[in-house]
Amino acid sequence: MELSLHHLVREPKHKKDKNPLLLLLHGYGSNEEDLFSFAEQLPDEYFIISVRAPYTLPGYGFAWYTINFDAGMNKFTDDAQATQSRDLVAAFIDEAIAAYPIDKENITLIGFSQGAILSYAVSLTYPEKIVRVAALSGYLHYPIVPENIAAEKSKHLKYFISHGTADQVIPVEWARKAPEFIKELGLQQEYHEYPVGHGVAPQNFYDLLSWLQK
pTM to 2 decimals?
0.95
Q: Is 56 exposed, middle or buried (0-12, 13-18, 19+ CB in 10 A)?
A: exposed
Whole-angstrom distance, CA of residue 51 vs CA of residue 5 = 6
pLDDT at position 1: 61
Q: At what angle do helices 114-125 and 79-99 cross, to 10 degrees?
A: 70
How many separate domains does the chain show?
1
Residue 168 has pLDDT above 80, yes or no: yes
Instruction: pLDDT band for 72, please (50, 70, 90 cuts).
Output: low
pLDDT at position 92: 97
Please provide the average confidence, as pLDDT, over all residues in the chain. Answer: 93
What's 167's domain CATH number?
Answer: 3.40.50.1820
Strands 188-194 and 62-63: unpaired
Task: Tell me if 1 is assigned to some domain.
Answer: no
Task: Tell me if 2 is assigned to some domain.
Answer: no
Question: Per mean pLDDT, which range of 70-79, 112-121, 175-184, 204-213 is the poorest?
Answer: 70-79
Contact 23, 108 (CB under 8 A): yes
Task: Tell me if 54 is assigned to some domain.
Answer: yes
Q: Give the residue-averaged pLDDT of 132-161.
A: 94
What string of DSSP letters covers 81-128? HHHHHHHHHHHHHHHHHHHS-EEEEEEEEEEETHHHHHHHHHHHHSGG
Residue 77 has pLDDT above 90, yes or no: no
Q: In terms of residue numbers, what domain contains 105?
A: 7-212
Distances in Å between the Cα of 189 and the Cα atoms of 9, 88, 122, 183 are 28, 25, 16, 7
Task: Tell me if 80 is assigned to some domain.
Answer: yes
Distances in Å between the Cα of 13 and the Cα atoms of 42, 103, 210 are 11, 15, 19
pLDDT at position 151: 79
Instruction: pLDDT band for 198, please (50, 70, 90 cuts).
Output: very high
Task: Tell me if 191 is assigned to some domain.
Answer: yes
Contact 111, 117 (CB under 8 A): yes
